[in-house]
Structure 1
Amino acid sequence: MDLETITLGGGCFWCLEAVYEQVDGVTAVESGYSNGQVIAPTYEQICGGDTGHAEVVRVQFDPHRITLREVLEIFFVIHDPTTLNRQGNDVGPQYRSGIYWHEPSQQAVIDEVLVEVNRANKDRVVTEVAPERNYSRAEDYHQHYFARNPGQGYCAFVVAPKVDKFRRTFAARVRR
């Protein structure tokens, strides 16, 4: 099976992970840290905002079932790509909007989708686009966080509404 991988940053990785784990055609989702200067940073270091990393999810998908374009369309609906270094109350460079590609061929699709998203938004998109570099997997307790902690305050009030928005907007893409 030929799988593709893209790494996405759109605020807290718990939100993105919770959505992409429900997307038909996505085969794996992993929370992590990417595109910073520190090798193998800890969550505490990331929270300080000094490592340069973004909280991200690595999304592995089957391009025969869902295209990169569709993965990105979901991404742009479930977060605000027009706010620099923040998503809601989460503030800092670790919460930036970013698309980190794995194959140079992905950049053309990313560029096309960004043009469309910019055309549709009155505010300019500030999403960083770069090759993925210096990625490290987040600690085990961050993996599948929403699935394991749906009643936790942040999950109930921040993550769940994003999952609901995905399920309403992309009903045909929800894994059965």
Structure 2
Amino acid sequence: MQTYVLAGGCFWCLDAVYRNLKGVHEVESGYTGGDTANPNYELVCTGRTGHAEAVAVTFDETVIPGEVILDAFFTLHDPTQLNRQGADVGTQYRSAMFYTSDEQKQVFEAARDRASDWWDGGLVTEISPLGTWYPAEDYHQDFFAKNPGQGYCMAVARPKVLKVRKKFQEYAL
């Protein structure tokens, strides 16, 4: 098993996309990359904690390659938008990859290089060492499945799930 910690806008979208891929065993929404201890959603939303909304995606590489996990990441969000994704604005919505080893850093850099061929403009995705991971509140975990009719889920998360499902059909549930 391998775990990647990724941030690309609201964690509800990333959580929803990764839970719909074969070989993904766990997705946990949380906060990382900041300097405030024990942050909660309300604090992170202020943009003053330095934390990003992120997901920790644990997957079986014998079922789904790490490259697919990362290519899906660069498909589901716009890595050219600095500190935002659509209407979600602030450093908490930044594009970021948090590594746990030098090997993982190299894998992330290679994925960012691949993705730069797909996007016009420069990618702003940061690649940083993983600091302390703070799990998000329970109501954020698997939010899309629990709230499929919620406005944000219908307007923002669902199209991302469908986009990734179409592009990576062989891994879609």
- TM-score normalised over the length of structure 1: 0.95
Is structure 2 residue 152 aligned with structure 1 residue 154? yes
Q: What's the offset of the Cα at 1:72? A: 0.4
Cα deviations by residue, 1:111-151 (Å, 9 ceiling, x for unpaired): 11211222332210000101111210000010110000000
Determine which of 38, 49, 56 is the counterpart of 2:47.
Answer: 49
Unaligned runs of 5+ in 2: none
Does the 8 A contact of 1:37 with 1:134 survive in 2? no
Q: How many residues align?
A: 173
Q: What's the offset of the Cα at 1:69? A: 1.2
Report the Cα distance in structure 1 between the residues aligned to 2:16 and 2:58, rounded to whole angstroms.
Answer: 14
Report the Cα distance in structure 1 between the residues aligned to 2:142 and 2:109, rounded to whole angstroms.
Answer: 30
Residue in 1 that maps onto 2:25: 27
Counterpart mapping for 1:21-170 below 5 A = 21-170=19-168
Report the Cα distance in structure 2 between the residues aligned to 1:116 and 1:167, rounded to whole angstroms.
Answer: 20
Report the Cα distance in structure 2 between the residues aligned to 1:121 and 1:17, rounded to whole angstroms.
Answer: 23
Cα deviations by residue, 1:75-130 (Å, 9 ceiling, x for unpaired): 00000000000000000000000011123211111111211222332210000101
Report the Cα distance in structure 1 between the residues aligned to 2:81 and 2:114, rounded to whole angstroms.
Answer: 17
Cα deviations by residue, 1:25-76 (Å, 9 ceiling, x for unpaired): 1110000001100111010000000000000000001111122211100000
Identity of aligned residues (%): 47
> SS at 1:120's partner residue?
coil
Report the Cα distance in structure 2 between the residues aligned to 1:164 and 1:85, rounded to whole angstroms.
Answer: 24
> SS at 1:6's partner residue?
strand
Residue in 1 that maps onto 2:169: 171
Report the Cα distance in structure 2 between the residues aligned to 1:158 and 1:118, rounded to whole angstroms.
Answer: 23
> SS at 1:76's partner residue?
helix
Report the Cα distance in structure 1 between the residues aligned to 2:20 and 2:139, rounded to whole angstroms.
Answer: 19
Root-mean-square deviation (Å): 0.9
Residue in 2 that maps onto 1:16: 14
- TM-score normalised over the length of structure 2: 0.97
Does the 8 A contact of 1:35 with 1:54 survive in 2? yes
